[in-house]
Amino acid sequence: MKAIQAGLLGIGTVGTGVYNVLQRNQAEIKRRAGRGIEITMVADLDTARAQSLVGPDVKVVNDARAVIANPDIDIVIELIGGYGIARQLVMEAIEAGKHVVTANKALLAVHGTEIFAAAHRRGVMVAFEAAVAGGIPIIKALREGLTANSIEWIAGIINGTTNFILSEMRDKGLDFDVALKDAQRLGYAEADPTFDIEGVDAAHKATIMSAIAFGIPVQFDKAYVEGITKLGAQDIRYAEQLGYRIKLLGITKRTSKGVELRVHPSLVPAKRLIANVEGAMNAVVVQGDAVGTTMYYGKGAGSEPTASAVIADLVDITRLHTVDAANRVPHLAFQPDQMSDAVVLPMADVVTSYYLRLRVADQAGVLAQVTGLLAGAGISIDAMLQRQAQELGGAGATQTDLIILTHNVREGTMNEILAKMQALPTVLAPIVRIRKEELA
Amino acid sequence: MKAIQAGLLGIGTVGTGVYNVLQRNQAEIKRRAGRGIEITMVADLDTARAQSLVGPDVKVVNDARAVIANPDIDIVIELIGGYGIARQLVMEAIEAGKHVVTANKALLAVHGTEIFAAAHRRGVMVAFEAAVAGGIPIIKALREGLTANSIEWIAGIINGTTNFILSEMRDKGLDFDVALKDAQRLGYAEADPTFDIEGVDAAHKATIMSAIAFGIPVQFDKAYVEGITKLGAQDIRYAEQLGYRIKLLGITKRTSKGVELRVHPSLVPAKRLIANVEGAMNAVVVQGDAVGTTMYYGKGAGSEPTASAVIADLVDITRLHTVDAANRVPHLAFQPDQMSDAVVLPMADVVTSYYLRLRVADQAGVLAQVTGLLAGAGISIDAMLQRQAQELGGAGATQTDLIILTHNVREGTMNEILAKMQALPTVLAPIVRIRKEELA
């Protein structure tokens, strides 16, 4: 049987990985897929570099539309990235009747609804395993492996850059700025790291998982996004003393009121497996009502780990290539006519627990004031730690740090109490508030 | 569209879970599968109990063949277990043109080749996600999620009973016999725990994973199987002091000479994520050449976790039900005409590293004798620990424990050296030898 022919749009780090792994493992992949899979055409602006990467047998062009227009191409692999030209090309490929494989999380998180609708109409697949958590087959687990379950929540370390920075901060007691510079020097963070450190990349991925888990449209614009740029080394230390690690989590949760979708630094009990995921590794915890807790761990980025996911999609499409469209695995796990319109909750309606750190005057009655405010709002305290004044050192011998872990409370309520707490004359500095996820 | 009708053979713990989860999540599962999935018939010897579990709308019979003969039944779910009647019924269901879902790892590990060949001939699916690691979708990950990779090795904690016992031994300093009794009392071990504690159950599962990973036939009879019954509490302690945990691992590995397939207790570096998988939980680490290390974690047994996997298979079959057979996902990840006949290595040809504990006379020259033997065979030492003689207590004040970690060596070579070492007059008791897997 004739090999499946794929065309690559953009041959950077991931594209090179896709080409190399397909070459290296071509015999084994053919044994799995039932027919060969070949990249026969590449579009890249730097055609000379592209040609040197793929050798003389692959046609290299500088016009992506020439790949889409080629009638021999079965699958278009979009690795350009971004919302602009990538969106146009994906839509054109779909209209041309090509299956599409993409690693573009930003595109899908923002324009996924439009793209999947077009693909359904045209009867082609848009596969995107590489868009979330790199080489970890988490899309497949959610879409096919856990179909029995009512998914309750997902919490993932889904950005390697920030996990690397957090690991460095903890291991070496570094401040964020220093750890970021280290990460940049070592190639774990880009020159402009904004999308990573501000949580945007993680939010793109959480948005996609949320849609698949709950059968809702992608809606990145409703996600709550908070990065790690404000985390201090001392908070990581204090959390540690309390038995917690701080991780940037992408979280989506089903509640009776709607779906939570949020990215922010979170305390996680140190004894949880995911708390021990260090460096640039990724891990996603999924809680299902039947299966309980499952976790998926691996490399979330890099040339060949991401290529692994892209090629898994190529194999899936190859295996299902001649299937009638009505029985294909649906893009978002649920059939297109079975999407629900459950709302995404505003952050104020999210219920979670908290780590609070207050710099307070070291004098009688302070503790009573603070805990009185919490008790008045029905917020119960899980644990408390008071640092000795002398341990703070320096000029502040009359100050002390008060750390409080709370039980669950609605964020809107917590915001009100924090405003009152901050206004107390005995609270001497801005209160640090970090959300805490027990993941139990 | 008419609902898919499934018939259940055997309604014990897992069968009850399947029925209950299908009932509870039926709307959501239908949204995912594209059509409803219903259990409309149950065969069980205890018909009264079965009828009380499923209610009056489900037909209950005491003859499994009545389910297979029912033309309305699309899928037969085999949950009887064992090699005997279960094998006959699965073969008859296949011949009758029914798709089969089974959780029966023993059946597939021993008779899988015959069963999959019959299914391929008849054009039906035999799905078995529940046969390995319960609710963890590891079969799907290997068969579909990691298709780009040349799989290098798999190492899994795939038996919850033994992992529970090992966790108890470590946490509480218990000996095996005591920990086993605890496990039985708490329901983590059966009255006859042989299959679990002797490693047979783990070997069934490792055999199935080996076939899927490498495209080889299932061949349980070639597996090396060693359980945990001989592990002593002191070895767990010593391993701990060296930075290791002891886990019962199912391992399969591709080497230039063939495929390793083995189950035995193993030291694992305590800092590895899998070393921290405690209690009855399961976890499987997969090393692929493109993706690197990935890990899959969750509940490996129990009513609803196992049901989660069974139902995922029902959904897969439903989604692919009307597909032409040539393009169906193959049972063992590779197309039936693409199976390789790579040999399974005898244990003597396995290369691994070792933990050795020797009770030796506390006198000059002993260390030189022991290390001389290792050096003579080209076995290099990774680490060594000598216990102070007085710490052993009791009458043996003139004895001491010598613990050695080796680098990699062929097991046949190690066996020869161990025989010589054991024959030394200064070695006072049987040498304890445990294999060590760095998993790096």
- Outline where A221-365 has alpha helix (H): 233-241, 303-320
For residues B373 and B309, the answer to whether their CB atoms sit within 8 Å is no
* Model pLDDT, residue B318: 86
* Model pLDDT, residue A195: 96
CATH number at residue A174: 3.30.360.10
Mean pLDDT, chain B, rounded, equals 91
Q: Residue A228 contacts by C-beta under 8 Å, 6 or more apart in sequence?
A: A162, A165, A166, A176, A197, A199, A248, A265
* Model pLDDT, residue A343: 73
Regarding whether A171 and A279 lie in a shared domain, the answer is yes
Q: Give residue-wise pLDDT tens across range B218-248.
A: 989 999 999 999 898 888 988 888 888 999 9
* Model pLDDT, residue A102: 97
Regarding whether B95 and B8 lie in a shared domain, the answer is yes
Asked if pLDDT for residue B389 goes beyond 70, the answer is: no
d(CA B20, CA A237): 46
Catalytic residue list contains A205: yes
0.95 surpassed by complex ipTM: no
A343 falls within a domain: no
With a CB-CB cutoff of 8 Å, which residues 204-243 of chain A face chain B?
A: 215
Is B226 one of the annotated binding-site residues?
no
B14 falls within a domain: yes
Residue B326 — very low, low, confident or very high, per pLDDT cuts 50/70/90?
A: very low
* Model pLDDT, residue B181: 96
For residues A389 and A423, the answer to whether their CB atoms sit within 8 Å is no
Regarding whether B128 and B64 lie in a shared domain, the answer is yes
* Model pLDDT, residue A206: 96
Is B265 in the A-facing interface, judged by CB distances under 8 Å? Answer: no
Q: Do A147 and B33 touch (CB under 8 A)?
A: yes
Is B194 one of the annotated binding-site residues?
no
CATH number at residue A404: 3.30.70.260
For residues B116 and B331, the answer to whether their CB atoms sit within 8 Å is yes
From first CA to last CA, the distance across chain B in angstroms is 50
Q: What are the chain B neighbours of A342 within 8 Å (beta carbons)?
A: none
Regarding whether A64 and A204 lie in a shared domain, the answer is no
* Model pLDDT, residue B325: 39
Regarding whether B324 and B356 lie in a shared domain, the answer is no
d(CA B387, CA B402): 7
| Minimal Cβ distance to B25: which of A32, A150, A299 | A150
From first CA to last CA, the distance across chain A in angstroms is 50
Is B12 one of the annotated binding-site residues?
yes
| Exposure letters B152-188 (e unless 16+ CB within 10 A, then b) | ebbbbbbbbbbbbbbbbbbeeebebeebbebbbeeeb
* Model pLDDT, residue A358: 94
d(CA B166, CA B246): 7
Could you identify the residue written with the tokens 């296949």? Answer: B94
Regarding whether B209 and B95 lie in a shared domain, the answer is no
Q: Give residue-wise pLDDT tens across range A191-230.
A: 999 999 999 999 999 999 999 999 888 989 999 999 999 8
Domain that holds residue B427: 351-436
- DSSP class of residue B145? I
B346 falls within a domain: no
Gyration radius (Cα) of chain A, Å: 24
Chain A residue with the nearest C-alpha to that of B32: A334
Q: Compare A7 and B123 and report the one with higher pLDDT.
A: A7
Q: Give residue-wise pLDDT tens across range B397-411.
A: 588 889 999 999 999
Which residue among B313, B338, B363 closes a domain? B338
Residue B54 — very low, low, confident or very high, per pLDDT cuts 50/70/90?
A: very high
A161 falls within a domain: yes
Regarding whether B377 and B236 lie in a shared domain, the answer is no
Regarding whether A291 and A146 lie in a shared domain, the answer is yes
Q: Do A293 and B294 touch (CB under 8 A)?
A: no
Which residue among A290, A317, A338 closes a domain? A338
CATH number at residue B17: 3.40.50.720
With a CB-CB cutoff of 8 Å, which residues 69-108 of chain A face chain B?
A: none
All residue ranges of chain A with pLDDT < 70 are 321-342, 388-397, 440
Domains contained in chain B, number: 3
Regarding whether B145 and B291 lie in a shared domain, the answer is yes
* Model pLDDT, residue A103: 97
A243 falls within a domain: yes
Regarding whether A47 and A172 lie in a shared domain, the answer is no
Is A12 one of the annotated binding-site residues?
yes
Regarding whether A116 and A28 lie in a shared domain, the answer is yes
Regarding whether B278 and B213 lie in a shared domain, the answer is yes
* Model pLDDT, residue B175: 93
Chain B residue with the nearest C-alpha to that of A311: B148
A213 falls within a domain: yes
Asked if pLDDT for residue B344 goes beyond 70, the answer is: yes
Catalytic residue among A30, A140, A205, A247: A205
CA distance B385 to chain A (A): 28
Q: Poorest-confidence range of B328-332, B340-344, B376-380? A: B328-332
B343 falls within a domain: no
CA-closest candidate to residue B18, choices B27, B28, B7: B7
CA-closest candidate to residue A332, choices A41, A43, A35, A120: A120
B345 falls within a domain: no
d(CA A301, CA A19): 16
Task: Return the amino acid letter for B74.
Answer: D
For residues A103 and A314, the answer to whether their CB atoms sit within 8 Å is no
d(CA A68, CA A255): 43
